[in-house]
């Protein structure tokens, strides 16, 4: 029975490790109707509750600017982040351009990825869907032509049913018999 116990411990150790997950949202077609609000995709994070937010990213986000009444428009990309030091924060990038023109967001470093590991942010779907999506804001009529935005998460792996069964066997093998 000792070999079964050792095997169960090895399987459970590997199953308990964390897993890196990419959650990506297609932003194409998101349009700002009212500049007082942001528009996007949210509420898809329930299965990652409690995981760590390692970073955020965008890929090939191109926007078409609306009109602010002066022939110009604005655009902002947002990720809602509930940070442990209090409050709700929107990590965002802003752009301005002539109405009807397009703009493609680019990271000067070339990787379009922003490391957030030092902030200790965890996934939470409570309180207005924090860490539950990506958003675009700006001038009325501004819209996303193409591209995706997302999160890189470190989430606990769920043990496989076989690992749980081996744990049960290990427990039976350790039982005292009188």
Domains and CATH numbers, the chain: 1-17+157-178 (no CATH), 18-156 (2.60.120)
pTM, to two decimals: 0.71
Bigger pLDDT: 50 or 177? Answer: 50
In the predicted model, is pLDDT for residue 6 greater than 50?
no
CB-based burial, 126-135: b 16+ in 10 Å, e otherwise = eeeebbbbbb
pLDDT band for position 41 (cuts 50, 70, 90):
confident
Orientation of helix 2-15 relative to helix 161-173, angle to 10°:
150
Strand-pair partners of 63: 103, 144
Number of CB atoms found within 10 A of residue 105's CB: 18
Q: Look up residue 158 and give its DSSP letter.
A: P
Using one digit for the tens of pLDDT, what is the confidence trace for 143-160? 999 999 888 989 877 665
Using one digit for the tens of pLDDT, what is the confidence trace for 58-106? 888 999 999 999 999 999 988 876 666 655 566 778 899 999 999 998 7
Q: What is the pLDDT of residue 114?
A: 84
> 167 burial class (0-12, 13-18, 19+ CB within 10 angstroms)?
middle
What does the alpha-carbon distance between residue 60 and residue 54 come to, in Å, rounded to a whole number? 21
In the predicted model, is pLDDT for residue 2 greater than 50?
no
Question: Percent of the chain at pLDDT above 90?
Answer: 27
Q: What is the pLDDT of residue 38?
A: 83
In the predicted model, is pLDDT for residue 175 greater than 60?
no
Bigger pLDDT: 173 or 116? Answer: 116
The CA R_g of the chain, rounded to the nearest whole Å, is: 22
């Amino acid at each position: 029975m000792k070999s079964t116990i050792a095997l169960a411990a090895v399987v459970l150790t590997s199953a308990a490790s964390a897993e890196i997950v990419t959650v990506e949202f297609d932003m194409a077609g998101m349009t700002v109707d009212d500049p007082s609000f942001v528009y996007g995709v949210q509420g898809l994070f329930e299965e990652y509750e409690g995981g760590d937010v390692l970073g955020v990213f965008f890929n090939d986000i191109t926007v078409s600017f609306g009109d602010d009444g002066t022939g110009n428009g604005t655009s902002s990309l947002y990720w809602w982040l509930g940070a442990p030091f209090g409050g709700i924060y929107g990590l965002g990038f802003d752009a301005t351009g002539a109405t009807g023109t397009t703009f493609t967001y680019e990271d000067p470093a070339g990787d379009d990825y922003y490391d957030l590991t030092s902030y200790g942010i965890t996934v939470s779907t409570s309180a207005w869907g924090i860490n539950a999506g990506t958003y675009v804001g700006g001038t009325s009529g501004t819209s996303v032509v193409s591209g995706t935005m997302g999160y890189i998460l470190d989430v606990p792996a769920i043990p496989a049913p076989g690992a749980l069964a081996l744990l049960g066997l290990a427990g039976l093998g350790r039982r005292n018999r009188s």
